[in-house]
Amino acid sequence: MSISLKFPDGNVKSFDDDATVLTVAQSISPTLGKKAIAGKLDGQFVDLNAPLSHDGAIEIVTKDGDDGLAVLRNTAAFVLAAALADLNPKMRFGEAHADEDGFYVDTDQDGAQISVDELTAVKDKMKAIIAASDPIKSVSLSQADAAAKFGDDPYRSQLAQEAGDPIAAHQLGDFVGFQEGALLPDLKPLKHFALLSVAGAYWEGKSSNPMLQRIYGTAYYKEADLEADAQRRQEAKERDHRVIGRDLDLFFVDPKVGAGLPYWMPNGATIRRTIERYVIDREVAAGYEHVYTPVLANLDVYKTSGHWQHYREDMFPPMDMGEGEMLELRPMNCPSHIQIYKHHIRSYRDLPMRIAELGMMHRYEKSGALSGLQRVREMTLNDGHTFVALEQVQDEFKKILQLIMSVYADFNITDYTFRLSYRDPANTEKYFDDDEMWNRSQSMLKGAMDDLGLEYYEAEGEAAFYGPKLDIQTKTALGNDETMSTIQLDFMLPKQFELSYVGADGEEHRPVMIHRGIVGTMERFIAYLTEIYKGAFPTWLAPTQVVMIPVNNDAHLDYVNDVKAKLLAEGIRVKVDDRNEKMGYKIREAQTQKVPYTVVVGDDELASASVSVRRYGEQDSMSQSVNMFISAIAADVANYSRTDARANN
């Protein structure tokens, strides 16, 4: 008996049916045999010494690359579970997983769970296991054996039942566990690892199930990579919008009154209001008419639009109002804007018709997916829809894209790419089934991008269910890709809602609908800006733009209040710190709160009708006349603080 294996270069070779990944690697070259740590058969990880049971496509995995790192982290997760079991033989184990960010193990035990303070002892136990160099063995268990071994552990018992019969497992010492993927043949390479944190995680991700404790870690082959990862995580912590939002008193979320429902404090509300006013002004100047529409609509509207069929899992349950009326919290604003369009008979002279709204929407997000402002259940989208004649599509698309790029410039967003998102033609369940519509709309988007001479890449399967789109992918503060803005072509909804306009020929024609969001939702956009700016918002966005500090309240406060009145008259957001605290303390607090300008007034300033100005992040102050200072800060705001937006991060 033999098996046939196909290699990445296309060559096909036959091997004995007891061949392993190691013997296959050695047959290619002794060097590869030494470097091999695992394999992949038809895309599935296989242990180095595991027999290759059937024909298929083979890949040899070495330490280099993402697959090699996945095997290392998978092994680290298994060793972590073994160490925990040794420290507490009664501990129960849920899922263990490795990914591009590290690894984790879900655990449960009676009484108190593992605390962060105990992770050092757990790490020491892992090091002892690694130093002992006992091999990890592949074992096969029957369902009866598993039931006897894991009878006191409901999680491993369930995992065993789902694994089939016999069960493929791994054993290290007395510990037996289920670990998807391959493990290292020996533990020597597992030298550079860290245990990072603990958190709660529902069993199987369901809030109705028990809450387990998830222990996070990461591992690398090189110490330098582990150190770089620690620096990256520290930077992430310093830029975490949830931490900054708490420190600067921007927003809070209280699960007791509603998980995923942020409360905007005055500071955060000021930032949001400034952005909203800016966006509305830019859109009105670009020809958009702003509207307000209800957050509730009859469920039939979303059945007509297709959202109910394609998006039901992300929508809240309908509310039964009696007598057959079912109301739904809207997940999207487009059906609402369609109703605005339909309210009057439209002519070709009305097109393009541009409608915009800061529209509140609701998504049925699972509790475990919620995160600060980035993943919420209630959000406000900077939404807009343009209704155009077919021949106007490409010109309107270009105008929208140019508006978006202009807005990006004002926020100093420069690191972004363009992704044309197409349908997967084989997926007729997810995407509206109309080949002619898809081919026409996709070619229109591509033609517009080519006309503008902009570089882009194409992604099949990333389109909305009703049409292709241009996604503008930005880089977050930590270098991750995130969709900031979209422009979508839609031939489907105008057809579903029977939209029309009277053409120059006096006949009815079907418009094309263009969906677009310039900065996405207010929640996610402000989270993004908070992390990009590291909380040091540019002057035009800062909730407090100036803090004024009198050296002596009795001698200088009246003058400070006079200057404050002049700043307020110019629309500058200013506060006076007249608390009975030391001067140094007040200045440090203004810096901690990342206020762009700290102004100190003493005898010299009073005598010369001036102010002493210190910019955020700078050590030195400079003296300016009041009028000069007001002019300088007004210019800073008017220029959207472009030159200073990130200088001090």
**pLDDT for res 164:** 77
Average pLDDT over residues 597-605: 95
Selected from 3.30.70.1150, 3.40.50.800, 3.40.630.30, 3.20.19.10, the CATH number assigned to the domain covering 539-639 reads 3.40.50.800
Percent of the chain residues past pLDDT 90, beyond the cut:
65
**pLDDT for res 208:** 79
Distance, in Å, from the CA atom of 195 to the CA atom of 554, rounded to the nearest integer, reads 55
Give strand pairing partners of 354: 386
The DSSP secondary-structure symbol of 464 reads B
Would the pLDDT of 527 be above 90?
A: yes
Asked if 163 and 140 count as a contact pair (C-beta separation under 8 A), the reply is no
Mean pLDDT across the chain: 90
> Domain map of the chain by residue range?
2-62, 67-231, 252-533, 539-639
Half-sphere exposure of 181 (CA within 13 A, CB side): 22
Tokens representing 177 are 């566990």
pLDDT category at 110 given cuts 50, 70, 90 is confident
Would the pLDDT of 381 be above 50?
A: yes
Q: Comparing 5-9, 214-218, 402-406, 522-526, which segment has the lowest mean pLDDT?
A: 5-9
pLDDT category at 17 given cuts 50, 70, 90 is confident
Average pLDDT over residues 323-327: 92
Distance, in Å, from the CA atom of 42 to the CA atom of 49, rounded to the nearest integer, reads 17
Higher pLDDT, 575 or 488: 575
User: Over the stretch 534-575, which tens digit does the pLDDT of each residue have?
Assistant: 999 999 999 999 999 999 999 999 999 999 999 999 999 999
Distance, in Å, from the CA atom of 81 to the CA atom of 122, rounded to the nearest integer, reads 10
Asked if 183 and 170 count as a contact pair (C-beta separation under 8 A), the reply is yes
Distance, in Å, from the CA atom of 410 to the CA atom of 645, rounded to the nearest integer, reads 10
pLDDT category at 327 given cuts 50, 70, 90 is very high
Domains 67-231 and 252-533 share a fold: no
- Burial, 399: exposed, middle or buried (Cβ in 10 Å; 0-12, 13-18, 19+)? middle
Would the pLDDT of 506 be above 50?
A: yes
Percent of the chain residues past pLDDT 70, beyond the cut:
98
Second-level CATH architecture of 252-533: 2-Layer Sandwich (3.30)
Average pLDDT over residues 84-110: 91
Residue 334 known to bind ligand: yes
**pLDDT for res 144:** 87
Tokens representing 478 are 């930590």
Second-level CATH architecture of 67-231: 2-Layer Sandwich (3.30)
Closest CA relative to residue 469, chosen from 446, 483, 489: 489
Indicate the CATH number for domain 2-62: 3.10.20.30
N-to-C CA span, the chain: 65
Would the pLDDT of 644 be above 70?
A: no
Distance, in Å, from the CA atom of 489 to the CA atom of 515, rounded to the nearest integer, reads 7
Q: Which residues contact 544 (CB under 8 A, 6 or more apart)?
A: 267, 573, 574, 575, 593, 595
Residue 385 known to bind ligand: yes
User: Over the stretch 222-256, which tens digit does the pLDDT of each residue have?
Assistant: 999 999 999 988 888 889 999 999 999 999 999 88
Residue 170 known to bind ligand: no
